[in-house]
Chains A and B, each alone.
Chain A
Amino acid sequence: MRFSLSRRNFLKMLGFGSASTALSSCSSEPIDKIIPYLIPPEEAVPGIADWYATLCRECPSGCGLLAKIREGRPIKVEGNPHHPVNRGGLCMRGQASLQSLFNPDRIRTPMIKRESGDFQTISWKDAEKEILDILKTKIDQQKTGEIAVITPLIKGSLERLLKKWMDAFHIKNHLIYEPISYEDIKEANRIVFSKAEIPLYSIEKAEMILSFGADFLETWISPVEYSKAFGNMKRVDIKRQLIYIGQRMSLTAANADEWISLKPGTEKALILGLIHFILKEKLHSDLPFLELELIKGLVKDFSLDRVSSHTGVSQQTIERIGKEFSKANPGLALGGGIAVKGLYATDISVAVNLLNYICGNIGRTVRFGHEIGIGRVNPYRDMLRLIESIEQSRLKVLLLYNVNLMYNLPDSSGFQEAIKRIPHVISISQFMDDTAKEANLIIPSSMSFEEWGDYMPRKGVFGLQQPVIKPLFESRGFGDILLSLVRSIDEKQKGQIPWNNFHDYLKNSWKGIHKDLSPEIGFDHFWEGSLRRGGVFRAETDKEVKLSTKVSLDSKIDLKDKEDEKSSTLLLYPSIKYFDGRGANKPLLQEISDPLSKIAWDTYLEMNPETAVALKVVEGDFVSVESKDGRMELPVHIYEGIRKDVVAVPLGLGHIEYGRYAKQRGVNPINLLSKKTEEISGGVIWSPIFVKIERINKKKSLASTQGGRRQFGRGIAQALFFSIGKGILHLKTEKDIKKEIKEGKKRDMYKPHPYPEHKWGMVIDLNACIGCSACVAACYMENNIGIVGEREVIRGREMEWIRIEKYVENKGNGLDIRFVPMLCQHCENAPCEPVCPVYAAYHNPEGLNAQIYNRCVGTRYCSNNCPYKVRRFNWFSHSWPEPLNWQLNPDVTVREVGVMEKCTFCIQRIREKKEVAKEEGRRLRDGEIIPACAQTCPTEAIVFGDLKDPKSRVSKLWNSQRGYRVLEEINTKPSVVYLKKIKREI
């Protein structure tokens, strides 16, 4: 049993393995072993957490992480506050990243495919020999052109090493593949500013944002970074607005002040219409005459009335937006979201550029010279070329590193057949995914947590990735694999590539960075500093750009292709949970319900209620969706936030392989895509896809965590409205607040209990909360919350301690979707406490509503009596298949079947910090204790602290003018105050 062996080695080195997390409520003496350190590592004290800075590699944005290590295991990751990309925040996927490290379905050893088609374990030596044999023969035959290497976006040292390595083997073809790329933006920038790169968008600075299908709060380029920025933007001035233009109300749109739905494929017309209007009204910032004329020429036939009739957006709206946007100083128009990556993707991005240009946003909110990493990705066109050359058998060896082409490329691309034609497919992969399954040779590569590395999400940001745990299995880092391969070919290479392992190489290449960044200090000092900080970060200066004289775009009003009219338009979008599909094998991401659909564990087709009525389908009915290139059957989810003539499907599920959690779950909509690429940029044509939808005779109940869709006037998610002229309406005055407090006192029957030392409280700013559910993920990881699986979620038994409640309102700006993070409110008059017959629920002297798990007998009375329904019951004992259980937090017990559990305000963190403060003989500092949810929140919507300390942030926010407490009228006196959302009234 290789695995158990490797585990024992691991324990040997890192000791205290048997700090068993199994709840043992039996009082009899447990015979278990204590395994002490053989050689105690320096500074590591068992029972005390160490934090190491590293990187998150779950998506190309490259956020910085701090990994919490206990007894040698990473048990939690948090955003690295020093890292300029995420600045301490972290998204749902980042939080779940430890589940890819400890995933039970990782490839554990090198494997080779037998004739029979099944894989057989082989030793590393043999595996390397296999590869070398193939490469050597190619070299000997001078046919290294027949070799191609495909990797995901790798930057920094690894990339440089790969280059060297390929030279060593005379390999030319290297493709960088990312399923979701932005070649259209890049291309547009080349056209407009003759600068082929993806710029940096300063969302904080923008006074008004126009987003054309750019879901920058979910998946667009660098979601955490932009969410953070968005939060700050709102904080700077509550009245700053975001307007979202697209067919579907995405999470970003749901957080916008206004969602403008326009006919599919008419974005370009709208943007040009806006430009036309702005120029006509002379609202533009001053431009040289020639440029003005040039642009005028491009937009001449986009008069208001035509555009309006073509896009279905009213003239007033266009005028209003035009006026306000040009007034905004600066504004920011965003494009290039998947929703607009269609036949005219590049044109749209060009138009967006022009719009930004004439309003003088270039160089202010759109900043060049930062070379965002994702710009390096090869477009879809190149992949198609590759496939072509396979078909013409000009390609014999395919070396794949962590790319899941079988899944991410549409069937229409022909790759699925092509790959079978290749004699040698070598897959260096972490998981047995759809692609690895097709390989002849599988090499297990380490997770980012196990290997050295660095990553440059953009210029000036050198993220350093240090391993936080020894490889769990017989996996190796990609760099190490490359090095050892090179080492074992003939001597003269050795001169060029003298390093024994990637760590040495990395250090060496950082000598270079050291030289041009801070030569004044010694390297070791620099190196250690970088390790501690998680990298070196330097503010890059922007590069000036000017309008190219050769700006051009297809400036006819494009009418959507002549498809037969009864077909509707399909919109694909990357799921905030699974991104492009790589999240699907993490049980946590499957379990958390999507912020908008509130559905977990499945793919669904989003459909407008009216369309559904027309099709005679209801929630959960299956329909068949058929495009020119593919057909699939999936259940329907009714969603008001989508146009009648449009349906949408999230990406991410429908894997053939990829581990127990992803395997055979949901459908993969990518297979509906066509082989056609967008002419100019060569990107995938994501939309519009014209599909026929037919009802089929099959239904299922979707794993929805939502009961009622509306608030029925219960004021759970409250909002205020502002209008440009009048400012915010119905804002509380100081007098009202005083009055409230006074009346609050009157309502009590008994005199309030004293809180001698602390009184913990929380404030949640709904204006900042974007519903991204990162807090939910963080809570799961911090508190060992059980994953119950689809069947139980359907029965309403999900265990989430904090949930994002979604409510649909039809006030003010048409459809209005609101999010409320709902967690235990730690009421002062908690209804759950007195009904517990055994004191398992009680109120502690610091205002916490405590739950003592091993005292609980499971009457479930407290749950009935909790008006907020935040108590969760363990209907079964949950299991974490080895090694997932290694992630469990030793400071939090694992709850047994039949026990009630709930949010504790992360009592273990409070306890820890209090202990530290005691040891150091000082008082607790404000902000020292941060619960997992507050810590990870990308928009810093959650503030936690001590209400007894009048100077604490939370006390200051406590009596805010926007403050309210949910269900105030039943006088439970919650310790959580929500700040009302603020929306633009139109």
Chain B
Amino acid sequence: MRYSKDITYGKVNTDILKILEKPGKIYYFLLFIVLSVLSVGVFAWVYQIYSGIGVAGITHPVAWGIYITNFVFWVGIAHSGTLISAILYLFRVSWRNSIYRSAEAMTVFAIMTAGLFPIIHLGRSWYFYYLVPYPSQTMLWPNFRSPLIWDVFAVTTYFIISFIFLYMGLLPDIAAVRDKAKGFKKKIYSLISLGWSGTDREWRHHSSAYLFLAAMATPLVVSVHSVVSWDFAMSIVPGWHSTIFAPYFVAGAIHSGLAMVLTLLIPLRKVFKLEEYITQKHFENLAKIIIFTGLIVAYSYATEFFIAWYSNNIYEQEIYKYRVIGDYALYFWIMVIFNTIVPLLFFFKKMRTSTVSLLIISILINIGMWFERLVIIVTSLAHEYIPFSWGLYRPTWVEIAILAGGFAFFALLFLLFVKVLPAVSISEIKEQIEPPRKGES
């Protein structure tokens, strides 16, 4: 898509580098809130490790709860980042360029947050390294048949690749920052810019590498959430053991991710006055994709119920009955309404174009998607095969605190990011605007 004519190369630099200037009061205020919430979360975790995982509400038979919910949720968030930065890049979707940077950053931070939760969740977190394949004195290795080990590999790979991808894109921009910066800052930036000097050779290899990374990230992103979904699908728990889980989770992930992108971009754009670069058009496009993913998610829900009914498997049927009218019915209805009904509002142009409605709806979708994971995990475990050991799960303050802490951690990373690195790609916007020409010849 084209930007307004009066944007020149110089203007791009000045506008975007303005973001990195000394932050204002609001920023510090936000930072303070985030840090305090985070510290509560950290305290909760320390307390949990000190007195035993039992201080969390998870119990027999519901041995997985909010922690795993968060893990799945955050991995999901990560996905749309890659979608925008990599997949749309491959499709040469021009409007991606101005928003992909923050989306990709979101990906990296989301993975970092997600990565915490499996460890928090462990009964003996201090032995988490047992899951890492390394030649130990015991001569024993992890069990590669376990979906949890697949997770370890998938998530680490995803993190590393996303990070490389983000960094690749950043290189020229860091150089740009370096060239403006002074003193100590200059030292740091020149260090991390790796001496980028925009020569033809650098550009040539850079853009080809960028293309390949995008090409690799695309199947990766699909695989990662498939693997996450297999944590459930590979088990025999009724309500988990389902073939549609992989596509269903991937769709859900992108659904929530796009919503999160909106939730982040709208304030970003407002605060840093990036209206010229991040335009209504961007948001509208995102909204349109959300409608689509929302419909896929709705379809998956329907399919699940259909299969449960059609399979005539009493265990499956019990689970789905339980979801709709059981102890967790409220969560279920939140999930259905927020994820499938609410996004349909985007069919109305007004809803797509007004930032307020965009923001509200995107937040609702995030909530809905979080509950989706909770419902899937908890309801299935609560009503498994043996009726005698059916049970309930009630979260405790520890879990809530750590949940909040997770969000704080993510927010903190993002806040720091926008002030340290260009949250909008400079060089790639330049690719989109007319380069300066004399025009004679």
In the complex, A touching B, CB below 8 Å?
Answer: yes
Known: A797-B54, A857-B131, A898-B53. A835 touches B124 (CB 8 A): no
- Nearest-CB residue, chain B, relative to A711: B387
Known: A714-B385, A861-B148. A877 touches B52 (CB 8 A): yes
Residues of B within 8 A of A900 (CB): 123
Check A835–B148 contact: CB distance below 8 A: yes
Give residues of chain A (832-846) contacting chain B, Cβ–Cβ below 8 Å: 834-839
* B40 adjacent to chain A (CB < 8 Å): no
* B146 adjacent to chain A (CB < 8 Å): yes
* B344 adjacent to chain A (CB < 8 Å): no
Check A897–B235 contact: CB distance below 8 A: no
Check A857–B59 contact: CB distance below 8 A: no
* A312 adjacent to chain B (CB < 8 Å): no
* B401 adjacent to chain A (CB < 8 Å): no
B203-235, CB under 8 A of A: which get 1 and which 0?
Answer: 000000000000000000000000000010011
Check A867–B143 contact: CB distance below 8 A: no
State the total of A-B contacts with C-beta under 8 angstroms: 160
- Nearest-CB residue, chain A, relative to B152: A837
Q: Give the distance in Å from the alpha carbon of A108 to the alpha carbon of B322 in the complex.
A: 55
Residues of B within 8 A of A713 (CB): 314
Check A876–B52 contact: CB distance below 8 A: yes
Check A860–B152 contact: CB distance below 8 A: no
* A499 adjacent to chain B (CB < 8 Å): no
A509-520, CB under 8 A of B: which get 1 and which 0?
Answer: 000000000000
Check A792–B386 contact: CB distance below 8 A: no
Known: A838-B130, A898-B123. A859 touches B148 (CB 8 A): yes
- The size of the chain B interface, using a CB distance under 8 A, is 48
Which of B104-112, B174-182, B258-266, B388-396 touches A?
A: B388-396
Which of A526-534, A562-570, A702-710, A737-745 touches B?
A: A702-710
Residues of B within 8 A of A215 (CB): none
- Nearest-CB residue, chain A, relative to B53: A898
Q: Give the distance in Å from the alpha carbon of A867 to the alpha carbon of B61 in the complex.
A: 10
Give residues of chain B (141-165) contacting chain A, Cβ–Cβ below 8 Å: 142-143, 145-149, 152
Known: A838-B143, A865-B236. A712 touches B148 (CB 8 A): no
* B381 adjacent to chain A (CB < 8 Å): yes
Check A834–B143 contact: CB distance below 8 A: yes
Check B127–A857 contact: CB distance below 8 A: yes
* B384 adjacent to chain A (CB < 8 Å): yes
- Nearest-CB residue, chain B, relative to A861: B148
Q: Give the distance in Å from the alpha carbon of A838 to the alpha carbon of B52 in the complex.
A: 21
The residue among B127, B384, B389 with the most chain A CB atoms within 10 A of its own CB is B389
* A855 adjacent to chain B (CB < 8 Å): yes
Check A875–B53 contact: CB distance below 8 A: yes
* A755 adjacent to chain B (CB < 8 Å): no
Partner of A898, one of B64, B124, B148, B387: B124
Question: How near does chain A come to B432, taking the closest CB pair, in angstroms?
Answer: 46
* B325 adjacent to chain A (CB < 8 Å): no
Known: A710-B387, A837-B131, A837-B149. A859 touches B121 (CB 8 A): yes
Residues of A within 8 A of B235 (CB): 831, 835, 861, 864-865
* B15 adjacent to chain A (CB < 8 Å): no
Partner of A859, one of B122, B318, B386: B122
Question: How near does chain A come to B410, taking the closest CB pair, in angstroms?
Answer: 23
Give residues of chain A (812-842) contacting chain B, Cβ–Cβ below 8 Å: 822, 831, 834-839
Question: How near does chain A come to B51, taking the closest CB pair, in angstroms?
Answer: 7
Partner of B60, one of A796, A822, A865, A877: A796
Residues of A within 8 A of B381 (CB): 864
Q: Give the distance in Å from the alpha carbon of A712 to the alpha carbon of B237 in the complex.
A: 17
* B302 adjacent to chain A (CB < 8 Å): no
* B301 adjacent to chain A (CB < 8 Å): no
Give residues of chain A (180-215) contacting chain B, Cβ–Cβ below 8 Å: none
Partner of A865, one of B122, B142, B237: B237
Check B388–A708 contact: CB distance below 8 A: yes
Question: How near does chain B come to A96, taking the closest CB pair, in angstroms?
Answer: 23
Known: A834-B146, A836-B146. A869 touches B389 (CB 8 A): yes
Check B54–A897 contact: CB distance below 8 A: yes
Check A860–B64 contact: CB distance below 8 A: yes
Residues of A within 8 A of B152 (CB): 837
The residue among B64, B121, B127, B147 with the most chain A CB atoms within 10 A of its own CB is B127
* B90 adjacent to chain A (CB < 8 Å): no
Check B318–A707 contact: CB distance below 8 A: no
The residue among B59, B121, B143, B231 with the most chain A CB atoms within 10 A of its own CB is B143
Residues of B within 8 A of A831 (CB): 235-236
Known: A835-B234, A837-B148. A857 touches B61 (CB 8 A): no
Question: How near does chain B come to A591, taking the closest CB pair, in angstroms?
Answer: 14
* A805 adjacent to chain B (CB < 8 Å): yes
* B26 adjacent to chain A (CB < 8 Å): no
Check B388–A822 contact: CB distance below 8 A: yes
Partner of B143, one of A712, A839, A868, A873: A839
Give residues of chain B (44-61) contacting chain A, Cβ–Cβ below 8 Å: 51-54, 57-61
Check A864–B147 contact: CB distance below 8 A: no
* A896 adjacent to chain B (CB < 8 Å): yes
A949-974, CB under 8 A of B: which get 1 and which 0?
Answer: 00000000000000000010010000
Known: A863-B61, A898-B123. A839 touches B386 (CB 8 A): no
Question: How near does chain A come to B132, taking the closest CB pair, in angstroms?
Answer: 10
Check A708–B124 contact: CB distance below 8 A: no
Check B236–A796 contact: CB distance below 8 A: no
Check B148–A708 contact: CB distance below 8 A: no
Known: A834-B146, A857-B128. A863 touches B387 (CB 8 A): no
Q: Give the distance in Å from the alpha carbon of A867 to the alpha carbon of B57 in the complex.
A: 21
Partner of A869, one of B142, B231, B384: B384
- Nearest-CB residue, chain A, relative to B151: A837
* A698 adjacent to chain B (CB < 8 Å): no
Residues of B within 8 A of A806 (CB): 388
Residues of B within 8 A of A328 (CB): none
Question: How near does chain A come to B198, taking the closest CB pair, in angstroms?
Answer: 46
Question: How near does chain B come to A975, taking the closest CB pair, in angstroms?
Answer: 17
* B63 adjacent to chain A (CB < 8 Å): yes
Known: A864-B64, A897-B124. A792 touches B54 (CB 8 A): yes
- Nearest-CB residue, chain A, relative to B236: A831
Residues of A within 8 A of B63 (CB): 860-861, 863-864, 873
Q: Give the distance in Å from the alpha carbon of A897 to the alpha carbon of B124 in the complex.
A: 7
Check B236–A867 contact: CB distance below 8 A: yes
Known: A873-B123, A898-B52. A867 touches B390 (CB 8 A): no
Residues of A within 8 A of B388 (CB): 706-708, 716, 803, 805-807, 822, 869
Check B123–A899 contact: CB distance below 8 A: yes
Residues of B within 8 A of A970 (CB): 236, 385
The residue among B53, B118, B124, B388 with the most chain A CB atoms within 10 A of its own CB is B388
Q: Give the distance in Å from the alpha carbon of A637 to the alpha carbon of B123 in the complex.
A: 34
Q: Give the distance in Å from the alpha carbon of A392 to the alpha carbon of B98 in the complex.
A: 101
- Nearest-CB residue, chain A, relative to B130: A838
Q: Give the distance in Å from the alpha carbon of A710 to the alpha carbon of B388 in the complex.
A: 8
Known: A859-B148, A863-B61, A967-B385. A708 touches B390 (CB 8 A): yes
- Nearest-CB residue, chain A, relative to B313: A969
Partner of A857, one of B57, B124, B318: B124
Known: A837-B146, A877-B52. A858 touches B234 (CB 8 A): no
Interface residues, chain A, CB within 8 Å of chain B? 706-714, 716, 792, 795-798, 803, 805-807, 822, 831, 834-839, 855-861, 863-865, 867-869, 872-877, 896-900, 967, 970
The 10 closest A-B CB pairs, nearest first, are A858-B123, A898-B123, A708-B387, A875-B54, A707-B390, A860-B63, A898-B124, A869-B389, A837-B148, A876-B52
19 A-B pairs in the complex with CB atoms less than 8 angstroms apart: A707-B388, A707-B391, A711-B387, A797-B60, A798-B60, A831-B235, A856-B124, A857-B124, A857-B131, A858-B123, A861-B147, A864-B235, A865-B236, A869-B384, A873-B63, A875-B54, A898-B122, A898-B124, A970-B385
Given contact pairs A714-B385, A858-B53, A874-B123, a sample of 12 additional A-B residue pairs in the complex whose CB atoms are under 8 Å apart:
A716-B387, A796-B391, A831-B236, A834-B143, A835-B147, A837-B130, A838-B142, A855-B130, A897-B52, A898-B125, A899-B123, A967-B385
